[in-house]
Structures are given as structure tokens and as C-alpha cells.
Structure 1
Amino acid sequence: MPDRTPVQLGEYESAVLAPDQLTPRDADRLHALQARGSLTLTREHTGWRLKADATVGVLVLDRVRVVISPKFAIPGERLMSWLAYALGTPVPATARRWATGPTGYADLVGAALLEECERLLREGLRRDYVRRRSVEPLLRGRLDVAAQATRRFGQLDQLHLHAFDREADIWDNRVLGSALKAAVGMTSSPGLARALHGAAGAFPWAPTPAPALRALDRTQYTRLNARYRPAHTWARLLLRGGGVTDLLTDHGTSADGLLLAMPALWEAVVRRLGTEAVGPQGGHAVPGGSGTGITIRGDLGNASAFRPDLLLSLPGLPGHGTADRTLLPVDAKYKRYDRHGVSAADVHQLLTYSSGYASADTPTAVIVHPQPGSHARRTLQVRGPRGLLGLVHVLGVDTRTAPEQASAWLGSALRRPWDAGRSVKAAVGGEVPGRPGRPDRAGRTP
């Protein structure tokens, strides 16, 4: 692998590259990534300026190797734990040594894949019956009559056969061989590269990543191949260059690397956090965001629909029966709402969600944002001339803790949120949305 100049920058940071450090091929690939919103490349009089957006990972170009480390909300030593949590895969035993350093987290993902593949090799690779065509002196399987008649002209010294043999050259193993070979080109650690190359020799592989990805999309897990699921998860991450089904979408960018969009990762984290947090309370996530979502019709063009990142169904108040459930819309915001106020656009968005999904008595919605260092909670009261319009709970999840601890805290923060809404209404005068509040002792109406 040719030596490449390392370029280190953080999330939302920029670096200046000399004019000769980017080839025309590199510029085309970076502009393709810019169209996806991963980074920004601008031409300056001194060369090129490369700015990372909400993206972390490694990008291997012809002459430079760009390493983008997490700086915004998830610490480097916790990034892989949160990534494994979002993917729903067990964290490998090497997690205690995982920390993003000068090599970037591509080495860490490669190490995770290597650990799972070595486990499969120790247990023995799965074998299945594979149909093969062969020419043999004895009949085994089924005779290919057409090939025998047209190629051997009736001679029976060699037989054209169709036979099924149990082999390890199946797609469950091929996708892992392809991912191991891809990881070799991304790692900067000679020791890890040798280990990945050695493991790749024990697996069959596909000629290109495209058929391996198609096979992964078609894979259905049963008791026969369930042990392959963690390895396939890391393989999919590597083969898509950071894209994961339901997490990111691969657009066929030819740039070699492993880039992860942090907003998409945070959305996946919040979906799992919220679902697990309300489970012990009898709550659950509503699949698909309750059908069609909130629709807009009558405008120019086609009708549009939008829905929150997560819609939770919570049990009703005591004495109201099991059918009286509350819908709570939750939106994941990868923003520093621990340092500045919630934007007006986000307030408008959450008010729309609360009006469309939540209870009419207390329209409530939740924002979940990352906040390294400590958990935090505050409540926004949105009022109009006729009283309270809605409540927006802003919950900051401490990303320095383990995901399981964050889930427990979020469960306590989401516990009976409508009670918190009633408390707030009582404190501000007991108004009901759409109605004036009660007069205070001086006879004034809020």
C-alpha cells in the first residue's frame, strides 16, 4: 500500500491541502461526497480547503489519508460502544481498548470484524450444499444428458454431472472474505493489516463488493446462520463505506474509506434508547410512525408527509383502562442544545408533532440531544394568546456513559410525561390549550 500523507481533523473542523495533494480523481470523489453532505471541498488560492461536517471516519485518497475524529458530542473512547448499540450487535471483547487515535476508527471496525471472523473460524465455518458441474469417470449426482450428448458424443469414459457438495464457498462466508479484503486497504496498522490478510485467506470472497452487499440484503437468519449476524453487521458497515441499512444509505461513491454520518447514528441511537426506556413501563414504539404520518396537501407538487424519528405509545392514566394510551413523539437532534436554546424551526416542528400525535389535553413532544458530561432535562412552555399551546421536553443524554445507563435515565425522564405536563399547567394557571387561563388573585388572566 503506498504511503499517504496523514491529514487529521475533527468533526466540523477544516484543513488546508496543497494543490498537488489532491489528484483530479480525488477532487471528483470529494465533490461526490460533498453532494451527500459528508464534507465540503472549496478551492483557495493556496490550494484546497477540506471541511468535515457532522461526519467521522477515514477517507483513503490517492495521496492523502484523511482521518476525521469525533469532536462534537460523542467522545472517541465511547464512539464504538454507541455504534455497536445503534447497530444492535454485541460489543466485542476488545472494546476496552477501543479509542479513536491517529489511525481513526476504521482500524477499530476492522478489528471488530476480525474478532468475529476469528470466532467463526474457531467454531468452524458454515457449510451448505452447493450445486457444481463437473466431469468425472463415475456417476455421482445427476447426469447432464445435453452436455454428454453434445460434448462427449455418446462416449461414457467421462461423464458430465450435476452434483451437490457441502462446501464453505457460500454467501454467508463470501461476504466476510470481501469485507476482510476491503478492511486491509483501510487500516494503517501493519499488524492489523497482516491479521486481516491472514483471516481473509481462510474465507471465500466475491469479485466486487456489489454482489456481496446484495447477498447481505437478501440474507435471512435462522438457527443455522444466526451466529453470523454480528460479523455480517461489521462487514456491511465496511463494504458500504460507513453506510448501514436503516442507518445510512450508500450512493455508490467510489471513494475508499469508512465515513459515518453522526446525525444518522444519533437517530438510530435514540430509536433504540426510547424503545428500551419505555418497555418496563408498558410502552412500546409505534412501527412506521403510526401509518401515513402528518400529510400536507393542496400545495404545488405532490402531497408530502413527515413523521417524528420515534413515536412511543405509553399506557394511560390509572383508572382510564388499557385502551386509553398516550402517543409521545420523540425527535433526535444532533445539536448542542446544552449550550444554546432550541431553534424556532425545531420548536415549530415539535409543536406540529405534538398537535398531530399527542393528547389534546396536553400536547407534548420530546427532543433528545447528546450532552457529554451529564444528563439534563428542561421543559419549554409554548404559549399563545389563548393559553398553553404545548410542551417540549428537551432531554440531554450523557454520551460519556454506557448506553445501558443512558437508557435507564431516559426511562425515568420519560416516565409519565403527561403528569409533568399537568404539573406545568397547574403552575402557570391550569389553562387548557385553546382556552384562557384561570384568573389569579389580582383578577388577571394569563
Structure 2
Amino acid sequence: MPDGTEIRLGEYGSALLKAEQLTPRDVERLRTLQARGCLSLDQAPAGWRLKADATVGILVLDRIRLVVEPKFAVPGEQLMSWLAYALGAPAPLPTTARRWATGPEGYAGLVAAALLEQCEQLVREGLRRDYVPRQSLEPVLRGRLDFAAQVSRRYGQLDQLHVRAFDREPDIWDNRVLGTALRVARTLATQADLVRDLHTIADAFPQAPTPDAALRALDRTRYTRLNARYRTAHIWARLLLRGGGVTDLLTDHGSMADGLLLAMPALWEAVVRRLATEAAAPHGGHLVPSSGATGITVRGDLGNTSAFRPDVLLSLPGQDSAARTLLPVDAKYKRYDRYGVGADDIHQLLTYSAGYTSRPDPRAVIVHPGLGGHAHRVLQVSGPRGTLGRIHVLGIDTHAVPQQAAVWMRSALPWAEC
């Protein structure tokens, strides 16, 4: 980044860039992100017009540092609590809260601090070691003699032996992926103390050949009692190595190793899925798939068959102990705490309520983020022949602790009415 220019804009915000601020490589990378719906890049008379979408975070380009800030102002410590909640990772410890303040690098610094905390804990406990095959030249026999190497390289001499042995070492993939992620984190962080701590702890971990190799190793990783303590560190490492993308949570198409871009709608969907799951459990409810036998499909039109799939579909016990009812819940990353629900969303939720809930009183739920407290309102949709459906609109306070939000959601959802 030769000139050190930083460009900051909010979600759905735009900025004008001079032609010389983007290299051909930058344009290619931004075009790739545009094809994936992360942002848009259009030519302007004096350069380029860059417009952000609902993907936020940081992207380090050749000549500029692009920071896209979320439209919902979430304090740093709360942001990490919600992100950890969505990922199923432990929240940061109070003793390390000083590291969790949002800095100039935004999300990237927060996730880097999360990875740093976990890696420091692993080093304190002792890195996992496993048997690694090694070939070496030894004065005595240990392991197995490599006859081919001994004959072709030592010509029958026995003063030095080519041997194959297994040694317990920390140079294993569980540690390599963390070493690679720590080095990526150093390129994204700007706070001097965070960069220093990342540099120090990275020396304790071996490194994978490439970030791609580390990601492939993470995809192959299976957790047992031997490496279960690595799970949380691997979650944060995956975020950094994939540029923000996490399988089944965020987009899998982030910019590799030079940015951290979070798809906020997908993140909010993961939050709502866990909130609904925890809220339904005490009532005997659980999640069911919204595809297959429980899907809403459209057939007979031109082209392929289309489907309506709510983000969350809850199965709840009905009044008859043998029967169960379905409640569709949809996550909307929109400012429905300030504006009315859009017509498209009303149509979508009415389709869900008609397809999944009882005919006399169909219902569905929208869950959106909000500020200044939780909110609950009910939209009554009626026609000449009576009620078409009721849509419960729940606003979750993003300043609250996720566990408190789950308790509130449990009391706000229409359990008794289903």
C-alpha cells in the first residue's frame, strides 16, 4: 500500500476513487467481488465509483485500504459476543476485554484479537504434538534404515545412517493452520500492540505452505478428545483465511488472505437460527428442514422449479399431543425498527404462513436487528373474506447480550397461539 490511503464508507454507501488509486489487479479483484454481490464498481468520468452492499469489513488493495462499516453501530465487545454466538464459539473472557475495542481496522482487528487470545491459551497449555515421519542422517540406528538412500548416497559406509523415524513434534496441521492465520492477521491489523503480540505468538506455530493448503486441512479436520481444545481457534482462523467466509454461515467467496469481509445478512441469519433454536427448546420445539417434504415449491412455470424456504422452520407441539405445528421464522437484516415492513417481505411471509401454519389463523415471524431495546409488533393482514395472516415482527436489541436476547425471544414468540 504505497500511499497508505484509507477509504471508509458505510453499508450501501459509495465513494469516488481516482483512476490511479486502483491498479489493474485491484479492478480485477473488485470485479470478482461484484460478481458475488459484495459491492459494485462502475467507471466514472474521473475514475471509479465504488458502492458497498451488505458486506462489511476490510479489504487491503495495492494502493488503498478499503473499510466498509456496518449500518448498525454495535460496540466492539458486543460485536464479538454476537459473532461468537453465531459461530458457536466461546465469548471473549472479561480479562481480555481491553483487546476487543473496535479499532481502525474494524472487524479484522476484532477477529485477529480473538485468534490471538485462543493461540496464547494453547501455548500456555502446551501445543499438541503428534508423530511426524522424518528422514535424517544419524550416527546410530533409530527407526528404520533407508536401504536405498544408504546404498546410493553412502556407498556402503556405515559411519552415518540414513534412517526413517517418527518423532513427536508440534509441526502438525492443527498448529500449521493457526500459524498461517496468525501471519495473515498481522497484515490486516494496524494497532501496534496487536501487531506486536501477533508477531510474537506466531513464532510458536509452524506454518502451512499456502493459505489454500491450510483451508483444505481445516476442511478435513475432525475433532476428538485429542484436539477438541483447538476448535475455537480454528473457527477464528477459518474466518481470517477465507477472508470472512465460513461454510454454512457467511459467503465462501471472500478475498483470500488480504481482507476480512463479512456478509451481514448471512451472519444475522445464523444469529436468528441459534436464537430460535434456544428459544424453542424449552417449549418442546426443534428445527426442521424447509426443503424436501416440508418445502414450498412452485412447478409448472418456465424454467426450473423454484422454492420458498424460510430461514428457520420450527416444529412445535400442538394442542393435541400427537400433532405438531410449524412456525416459519425469517431473518431480515433491515431497519424495521425505523421503517415499515416492505410489501415484498409481507408477501413472502404470507406465503410461509399459508404453507406452514394452520388454516384458521396462519402466522409467521420476522426477526430484525434494532437499537434501543427489544420490540414486538404484530401485522394484521386482512382481505374481504377475513384474515389472511398475522406477521409477528420482533426487533432484537444488538446492544444486548445474545443470551438475554434468547430469553426475551422465548417470551415474545407466539408459542401458546400455535
| Range class of TM-score, shorter chain | over 0.9
Paired residues for 1:211-290 under 5 Å: 211-251=213-253, 253=255, 256-287=258-289
Which residue of structure 2 aligns with residue 205 of structure 1? 207
Q: Residue 153 and residue 241 in structure 1: after superposition, are their counterparts in 2 closer, same or farther (change >3 A)? A: same
| Structure 1 residue 27, shift from structure 2 partner | 1.5
| Structure 1 residue 307, shift from structure 2 partner | 1.7
Paired residues for 1:176-187 under 5 Å: 176-187=178-189
Letter in 2 for 1:309: D
Structure 1: 5+ residue stretches without partners: 420-446
TM-score, normalized by length of structure 1? 0.87
TM-score, normalized by length of structure 2? 0.92
Letter in 2 for 1:379: V
Q: Residue 34 and residue 259 in structure 1: after superposition, are their counterparts in 2 closer, same or farther (change >3 A)? A: same
Q: Does the 8 Å contact 2:100/2:113 carry over to 1? A: no
The structure with the largest alpha-carbon Rg is: 1
Residue 175 of structure 1: which of 174, 177, 185 is its match? Answer: 177
Letter in 1 for 2:223: Y
**Separation (CA, whole Å) in 2 of partners of 1:257 and 1:283:** 39
Q: Deviations for 1:362-420, whole angstroms, at most 9, x for unmatched residues?
A: 2221111111112111222223343222221111111111111111110001151525x
Which residue of structure 2 aligns with residue 86 of structure 1? 86
What's the secondary structure of 2:417's corresponding residue? Answer: helix
**Separation (CA, whole Å) in 2 of partners of 1:173 and 1:34:** 34
Residue 316 of structure 1: which of 297, 315, 318 is its match? Answer: 318
**Separation (CA, whole Å) in 1 of partners of 2:123 and 2:257:** 31
Aligned residues: 416
What's the secondary structure of 1:244's corresponding residue? Answer: coil
Question: Does 1:412 find its partner at 2:389?
Answer: no
Which residue of structure 2 aligns with residue 55 of structure 1? 55
**Separation (CA, whole Å) in 1 of partners of 2:357 and 2:146:** 66
Q: Residue 210 and residue 288 in structure 1: after superposition, are their counterparts in 2 closer, same or farther (change >3 A)? A: farther
| Structure 1 residue 278, shift from structure 2 partner | 1.4
| Structure 1 residue 152, shift from structure 2 partner | 4.8
| Structure 1 residue 253, shift from structure 2 partner | 3.8
**Separation (CA, whole Å) in 2 of partners of 1:50 and 1:361:** 49
Letter in 1 for 2:172: I
What's the secondary structure of 1:188's corresponding residue? Answer: coil
| Structure 1 residue 88, shift from structure 2 partner | 1.0
**Separation (CA, whole Å) in 1 of partners of 2:226 and 2:3:** 43
| Structure 1 residue 218, shift from structure 2 partner | 1.2
Q: Does the 8 Å contact 1:175/1:206 carry over to 2? A: yes
| Structure 1 residue 252, shift from structure 2 partner | 6.3
RMSD: 2.2
Q: Does the 8 Å contact 2:177/2:237 carry over to 1? A: yes
Question: Does 1:333 find its partner at 2:335?
Answer: no
Q: Does the 8 Å contact 1:169/1:204 carry over to 2? A: yes
| Structure 1 residue 353, shift from structure 2 partner | 1.7
**Separation (CA, whole Å) in 1 of partners of 2:228 and 2:289:** 24
**Separation (CA, whole Å) in 2 of partners of 1:367 and 1:308:** 10
**Separation (CA, whole Å) in 1 of partners of 2:41 and 2:192:** 30
**Separation (CA, whole Å) in 2 of partners of 1:147 and 1:97:** 52
**Separation (CA, whole Å) in 1 of partners of 2:172 and 2:77:** 36
Q: Does the 8 Å contact 2:279/2:410 carry over to 1? A: yes
Q: Residue 275 and residue 73 in structure 1: after superposition, are their counterparts in 2 closer, same or farther (change >3 A)? A: farther
Query: Among the aligned pairs, what percent are the same residue?
Result: 71
Which residue of structure 2 aligns with residue 377 of structure 1? 376
Which residue of structure 2 aligns with residue 102 of structure 1? 104
Which residue of structure 2 aligns with residue 118 of structure 1? 120
**Separation (CA, whole Å) in 1 of partners of 2:326 and 2:99:** 41
| Structure 1 residue 357, shift from structure 2 partner | 2.1
Which residue of structure 1 aligns with residue 350 of structure 2? 351
What's the secondary structure of 2:177's corresponding residue? Answer: helix
| Structure 1 residue 97, shift from structure 2 partner | 5.2
Q: Residue 2 and residue 169 in structure 1: after superposition, are their counterparts in 2 closer, same or farther (change >3 A)? A: farther
Letter in 2 for 1:64: I
Which residue of structure 1 aligns with residue 389 of structure 2? 390
Q: Residue 255 and residue 21 in structure 1: after superposition, are their counterparts in 2 closer, same or farther (change >3 A)? A: farther
Q: Residue 394 and residue 336 in structure 1: after superposition, are their counterparts in 2 closer, same or farther (change >3 A)? A: same
Stretch of structure 1 that moved more, 400-409 or 279-288: 279-288
Structure 2: 5+ residue stretches without partners: none
Q: Does the 8 Å contact 2:241/2:256 carry over to 1? A: no
